[in-house]
């Protein structure tokens, strides 16, 4: 078994027009910048993939990563908890112009909806958002005297995530807080595409250290000198 692919262009070739794409990362930590920019390069060259629904905690920062996808006009809808950042212009301009749709989801609900999507659980109840405008139209039920809101699973066609180590079977480790949503997204997407700092032989990652088992991973590409989104943005504004 070997899930490695030759290059970034090959890795992201599975993303089609109109796809729902989960993108790992919280702020800059875990953002798969090289996979995102390979997608943007393909869009610039071919006009595809467009009309994407992108699922991430945020909606981009500065003029790189998800913000650059939005600037290019590739994104029809964002599903996120916090579409603000130190420089949220890309999303804000499109949103206020009515050119991008927003589904705002509380952060923990977003994580659990993705986990549920990956775990085959179509809906669940959570106390989060009960009695608020974000619960409008959702079924409510009482359990042990408290009220809970029904939320539905989130699934995707493709997940783009960044790992520290990957082996050829797709077993993954992450670096520090760059883990965030990625193990959940890897479960919830039909095809999970990973950029890893290094690809190693099966057995080189101690099974006790595997965070995402390879069953959730489909394509792995090595990006040894990956950019860190936050560091790039800080350089740009320094």
Partner 1 sequence: MKLTNAQIAWRAAQDIEDGAYVNLGIGFPEMVAQFQPSGRAAIFHTENGILNFGEAPAAGDEDWDLINAGKKAVTLKPGAAFFHHADSFAMVRGGHLDVAILGAYEVAETGDLANWSTGPKGVPAVGGAMDLVHGAKRVAVITDHVTKDGKPKLVKRCSLPLTGVGCVTRIYTSLAVIDIVNSRFVLREKLPTLSLDELQALTGAELLVEGEIINLNVPEI
Binding site for partner 1 (CB under 8 A): 26-30, 57, 81-86, 88, 91-92, 95-96, 102, 104-112, 114-115, 126-134, 174-184, 211, 228-231, 234
- Three-class secondary structure of residue 29 per DSSP: strand
Label the pairing between strands 140-143 and 146-152: antiparallel
**Least distance (Å) between residue 56 CB and partner 1:** 12
**Least distance (Å) between residue 29 CB and partner 1:** 5
**Least distance (Å) between residue 210 CB and partner 1:** 13
Instruction: Please identify, using beta-carbon distances, which residue of 150 and 202 lies nearer to partner 1.
Output: 150
**Least distance (Å) between residue 58 CB and partner 1:** 9
Residue entry with tokens 């250290």: 209
Instruction: Please identify, using beta-carbon distances, which residue of 49 and 106 lies nearer to partner 1.
Output: 106
Instruction: Please identify, using beta-carbon distances, which residue of 42 and 115 lies nearer to partner 1.
Output: 115
For residue 199, what are the contacts with CB-CB under 8 A and spacing of at least 6?
4, 165, 166, 167, 168, 220, 222
- Please report the DSSP string for 146-209 in residue order: EEEEEEE---EEEEEEEEEEEETT--B---GGG-TTHHHHHHHEEEEEEEEEEEE-TTSS-GGG
Instruction: Please identify, using beta-carbon distances, which residue of 193 and 232 lies nearer to partner 1.
Output: 232
């Amino acid at each position: 078994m070997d899930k490695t692919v030759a290059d970034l262009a090959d890795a992201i070739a599975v993303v089609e027009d109109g796809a729902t794409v989960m993108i790992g990362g919280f702020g800059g930590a875990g953002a798969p910048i090289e996979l995102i920019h390979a997608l943007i390069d393909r869009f610039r060259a071919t006009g595809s993939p467009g009309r994407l629904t992108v699922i991430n905690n945020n909606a981009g920062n500065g003029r790189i990563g998800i913000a650059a996808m939005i600037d290019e006009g590739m994104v029809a809808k964002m599903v996120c908890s916090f579409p603000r950042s130190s420089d949220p212009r890309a999303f804000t301009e499109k949103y206020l112009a009515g050119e991008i749709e927003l589904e705002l989801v509380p952060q923990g609900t977003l994580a659990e909806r993705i986990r549920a999507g990956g775990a085959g659980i179509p809906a669940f109840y959570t106390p989060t958002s009960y009695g608020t405008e974000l619960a409008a139209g959702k079924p409510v039920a009482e359990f042990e005297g408290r009220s809970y809101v029904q939320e539905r699973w989130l699934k995707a066609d493709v997940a783009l995530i960044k790992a520290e180590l990957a082996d050829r079977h797709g077993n993954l480790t992450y670096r520090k807080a760059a883990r965030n949503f990625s193990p959940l997204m890897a479960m919830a997407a039909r095809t999970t595409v990973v950029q890893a700092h290094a690809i190693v032989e099966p057995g080189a990652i101690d099974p006790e250290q595997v965070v995402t088992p390879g069953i959730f991973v489909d394509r792995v590409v090595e990006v040894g000198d990956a950019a860190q989104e936050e560091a790039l943005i800080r350089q740009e504004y320094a």
